[in-house]
Amino acid sequence: MDASANSMIVIEANLFRKAGDADIVDFGFLPFTVAYQEVTKELGLLVLNDQNKEHIFLAFLPNNTYKRPIGTIIKWRQPTCRGGCILLFKKEISCSYIWGVIGRMQRDWNINNHGGGSFYSGISNLTELPPVDLSSLPLLLKIILECKFSDQMRIAELITRDNDFFPKLVGLFKTCEDSENIDGLHMIYRLVRGIILISNLSVYDQMFCDECFLGVVGALGYDPEEPKAQKHHSLLENVVMEHVIFNETLPVSDRSVYMKLYQSIGAEYIKDVILRKTLDEVTIASLTLLAHAKYAVACSLLLADTYFIQELLAKLKSDGTSPDSKRDLVLLLCELWSFCENVDNVQISDFWCSDIVDGNTYNITVDVMQAVIVQKDERCLRRIVERNLFRLIIEIFYVCGYSEGIVHGGVLELLEYITEENMEVLVIYLWETFSEELEKYESFKSIQALKIKYKQCLEESKQETENNAKGAASNRGDGGLNKLTARDEFKMDSWTSHFHSFYRRFICRKKKVD
């Protein structure tokens, strides 16, 4: 099995299988990667069943019929189990990546089938790639650029087996750049671009390691079709690292947090700027998955730093923290919270729930939410509603029962504060989303007050609509625009918003060197 099975970029999907007339078997959400079986020379999905550690290999058959009825589902008939398979993905971008891989494979098969050629070329029999040096660049480039899609997994396997492949390539790039070897730089550009277009997640892991990713970005600045070299690596290195002084509102002990963010931004920069006009669907999806994976690592490192979380809360509560810094900290909290709610890795998303019974982490979680809410920032309040960030707090509140009175005290105080401060957007959100859970503890005065306030909000909203329908419509229009602007700021799909949102949330402040 190839190295892609060991990729840090693991996709999760719910696997359903049906064998003949038997009932459908639900395997639940499982991690899997695209993999290549060397013995059978088959491309497919390698799935690891955590319960019994059984590896399931679902081969992609070129002449099979695959369907994507909606954005997050792929289904097909699997002859090996005399039935069908369905994959339900958590994220549409993950589904797009797998769908693109299948599409590439079938296009390659159709071309060879109608042209009388072989689906697999001689590349599948290669045992190693040519050495990464200047004399071998033409041959290496020929192999990368002329291979069929059916052979790309084999090439990816050979690349990932050699841990020195990208360090050597980056070293060769620097040598050519220092000696102004333009022909060599042009070949390295085409080679790096060709490897990126293979869209293998394990290869991306190695390309975007701490030691190589700036060199990879730099090599993409020497497009032979451009009249002048583009110093992409200088942009990232100078603007992000040298020409920006990070006055950290909070100390981050693990410097790899920053490196993972740089790599995430670099992946987005390649996708949205450098190679924007040349990428197909599967490469766009794979680079997006890479950016999200690097971002997830940065978030998980921060969440694992208990001191960082405690200091963050202390800064938010401190009167000595400036309003601008508090705003940045609130945005950071919202981003971390959102990450916990949406990340594929279940272990990370359970961070806020770990050791809940003793109240330690849960109290921190409630404190985080309280620190966000007391800032009364409308964008952050909308963010809470849009991402349903109260879910964990209310669910644990509901499950623990009356026995955890001390733990519940913080939640009840928080609900009381929301009610007394007449935070209408949160009042309506809380009651309409969690009324069933909250009504179980309606004997608490704070929950009674929240229910009453909710009814008052509905009455006031109805009265306002009847009295001034035109004005209300105008307000709703303005609110829609504001909401769109807030969402745009949190998007990661463009270079500009990606750059500014990450660095404002994680580094919190930046000043250019004079």
Higher pLDDT, 268 or 396: 268
Helices (H), 82-148: 92-115, 137-146
The predicted pLDDT at position 346 comes to 40
Q: Read off the pLDDT of residues 496-514 as tens digits, 9 standing for 90 and up.
A: 333 334 434 443 333 333 3
Range of lowest pLDDT (136-150, 390-404, 418-432): 390-404
The answer to whether residue 484 sits within a structural domain is no
Q: In what order do the strands lie in the sheet with 73-78?
A: 54-59, 42-49, 25-37, 11-19, 83-89, 73-78, 66-67
474, 484, 495, 504 from 478: Cα distances, Å = 6, 10, 27, 26
Find out whether 132 and 168 touch, Cβ atoms under 8 Å. Answer: yes
Backbone CA torsion sign across 358, 362, 367, 370: negative
Cα(157)–Cα(128) distance, integer angstroms: 9
133, 431, 475 from 464: Cα distances, Å = 74, 21, 11
Identify whether residues 129 and 97 lie together within a single domain.
no
State how many domains the chain has.
3
Name beta bridge partners: 34.
Answer: 45
pLDDT (average), residues 26-51: 72
The answer to whether residue 511 sits within a structural domain is no
Q: Above 90 in pLDDT, residue 272?
A: no
Amino acid at 101: V
The predicted pLDDT at position 451 comes to 92
9, 48, 157 from 6: Cα distances, Å = 9, 11, 11
The predicted pLDDT at position 358 comes to 40
Query: 23 burial class (0-12, 13-18, 19+ CB within 10 angstroms)?
Result: exposed
Q: What angle do CA 94, 288, 280 make, to 5 degrees?
A: 85
| CATH number, domain with residue 56 | 2.30.29.30
Identify whether residues 218 and 129 lie together within a single domain.
yes
Range of lowest pLDDT (190-199, 236-245, 311-320, 451-460): 236-245
Rg of the chain (C-alpha set): 26
The predicted pLDDT at position 148 comes to 75
The answer to whether residue 381 sits within a structural domain is yes
The predicted pLDDT at position 418 comes to 92
Predicted TM-score of the model (pTM): 0.66
Residue 425 domain boundaries: 307-467
Q: What is the largest CA-CA distance in the chain?
A: 81
Cα(9)–Cα(204) distance, integer angstroms: 9
The predicted pLDDT at position 402 comes to 53
Identify whether residues 162 and 78 lie together within a single domain.
no
The answer to whether residue 476 sits within a structural domain is no
Which stretch, 260-269, 433-442, 445-454, has highest mean pLDDT? 445-454
Average per-residue pLDDT for the chain: 74
3-class SS at 493? Answer: coil
pLDDT (average), residues 301-318: 78
Cα(120)–Cα(446) distance, integer angstroms: 68
| Total residues found in the chain within this entry | 514
The predicted pLDDT at position 49 comes to 62
Identify whether residues 162 and 255 lie together within a single domain.
yes
Backbone CA torsion sign across 428, 432, 433, 439: positive
The predicted pLDDT at position 370 comes to 80
Give the end of a domain, one of 88, 115, 142: 115
Identify whether residues 105 and 148 lie together within a single domain.
no
DSSP string of 189-239, one letter each residue: HHHHHHHHHH--HHHHHHHTSTTTHHHHHHHTT--TTSSS---HHHIIIII
Give the end of a domain, one of 61, 90, 115: 115
Identify whether residues 284 and 398 lie together within a single domain.
no
3-class SS at 89? Answer: strand
Range of lowest pLDDT (173-182, 218-227, 370-379, 398-407): 398-407
Identify whether residues 315 and 458 lie together within a single domain.
yes
The answer to whether residue 491 sits within a structural domain is no
Range of lowest pLDDT (343-352, 357-366, 392-401, 451-460): 343-352
Identify whether residues 195 and 268 lie together within a single domain.
yes
Identify whether residues 261 and 277 lie together within a single domain.
yes
Specify the residue for token string 């020929």: 142
The answer to whether residue 487 sits within a structural domain is no
Identify whether residues 131 and 97 lie together within a single domain.
no
CA atoms within 13 A on the CB side of 308: 23
The answer to whether residue 492 sits within a structural domain is no
Q: Read off the pLDDT of residues 406-422 as tens digits, 9 standing for 90 and up.
A: 446 788 888 999 999 98
Identify whether residues 191 and 336 lie together within a single domain.
no
Give the end of a domain, one of 96, 115, 134: 115
CA 341 from centroid of its chain's CA atoms: 12
The predicted pLDDT at position 448 comes to 92
Identify whether residues 131 and 95 lie together within a single domain.
no
The answer to whether residue 262 sits within a structural domain is yes
What's the pLDDT band for 193 if we cut at 50, 70, 90? very high
The predicted pLDDT at position 284 comes to 92
